[in-house]
Amino acid sequence: MSLEAKSGKTIVAIDPATENTITEVQAAGEEDIDIAVKAARKAFENPEWKDLDTAQRGKLLLKLSILAERDAEILATIDSWDNGKPYTAAMTEDAAEVISVFQYYGGWADKNHGQMINLGLDKWAYTRHEPVGVCGQIIPWKYPVMMAAWNLGLYLHVVTPLCSRLPLSVLYLAKLIKEAGFPAGVVNIINGYGAEAGSAITAHPGIDKIAFTGSTITGKTIMKKASETLKSVTLETGGKSPLIVFDNADFEQAVNPQVSKAQYEKILSLIESGKSEGAGLLTGGAHSGDKGFYIQPTVFRDVKPNMKIVREEIFGPCVNLRKAHRVAAGVQAGTVWIISSQDTHWGVPFGGYKQSGIGRELGSYALSAYTQVKAVHATPQPYG
């Protein structure tokens, strides 16, 4: 079921390669968020879903993976169109991971067991892993449909406000969720701007958990807001990912437009800050081509740790030349890649150290973030 936004606002989806408008979608406000949360809460308590055994829930996820595989080319095409990433990357990375995540957690659905604990003296206890409640998921523009799947695969009482820049691929995923047979209200997908929709999600008393991917500053704000109602949080916030680029790299295939005009202007601003703070610009640093949000591959030298281009995520074609740490155990980071970069796998935990986040997504480690443990103590009644 789709509803018109009561806010009256819209979001314009723009093709970053041509700057042409693709379409407009409605933008949710606080009142729309409240409607979605109430729908999720109602579904959470509905016996049709609440009493459905875990094996059946797993089958629904597996069916969703089959549908995602059937329509993988559509998901990849939409993401490439709306996001600007190469179709090959959207197909082999994003769409492929959506399929695999739903398969992986569909298999986990009936295996996340508690424990039996012997207390001695004819007493015993056991634990249950129960859903944490209604989750508000705030996803980024970088991997919209893939990161939506990360959380949807783990947990299915979700209010999902999409990134305002890239609403389209997850809206198509909503169509597949309905086709797979999930009850109404279990997943609620919303288009909205972070300042309004994201804030409403974070503050809403009907939401029990927040899963957020985005900047460290926004993550801190969400954590403060969530603390007012003691919401559980999983935060995947900012970080820096050094690369080594070889001289045979195919830039014609690798470099694509920035996702939006706002991101394009932000990257150029960061490049200017690097130059003004004393970093040496070896190459690039300017617009590329006649049309579209393209930026030349950019390389800096003499970069200092306090510079803005080091401290802030750029999400653009900019690198700093410096010696790499060779011992992974000595790197204080949640993920280390060797002879690769940005790889993820649905069976391997993903997250950051320090101010790069709280908790882990993916793998069996992520299951604990979406369940809460109930302890049950039992004393047998004496016979006779």
Q: Domain 9-240+345-377 belongs to what topology?
A: Aldehyde Dehydrogenase; Chain A, domain 1 (3.40.605)
Residue with tokens 């936004």: 5
Q: Which parts of the chain have pLDDT scores under 70?
A: 1, 155-166, 240-249, 251-255, 316-330, 337-341, 382-384
Which of 240, 286, 282 shows the shortest CA–CA distance to 265? 286
Q: What is the pTM of this model?
A: 0.72
User: Any idea which residues carry the catalytic annotation?
Assistant: 236
Dist. CA 246–CA 133, nearest whole Å: 47
| pLDDT digit string, tens, across residues 95-123 | 999 999 999 999 988 888 888 888 887 78
Tell me the three state secondary structure of residue 231: coil
Domain borders along the chain are 9-240+345-377, 251-323
Dist. CA 29–CA 198, nearest whole Å: 9
| pLDDT digit string, tens, across residues 323-366 | 443 445 667 777 776 656 677 787 788 787 877 777 787 877 78
Q: Which residues pair with 357 in a beta bridge?
A: 236
Tell me the three state secondary structure of residue 341: coil
Query: Biggest alpha carbon distance in the chain?
Result: 91
| pLDDT digit string, tens, across residues 193-234 | 878 888 899 999 999 999 998 888 999 999 999 999 899 898
Strand order in the sheet with 298-301: 280-283, 298-301, 318-320
Q: What pLDDT does 65 receive?
A: 96
Q: Domain 251-323 belongs to what topology?
A: Aldehyde Dehydrogenase; Chain A, domain 2 (3.40.309)
Q: From the CB of residue 383, how many other CB atoms can be counted at a distance below 10 Å?
A: 4
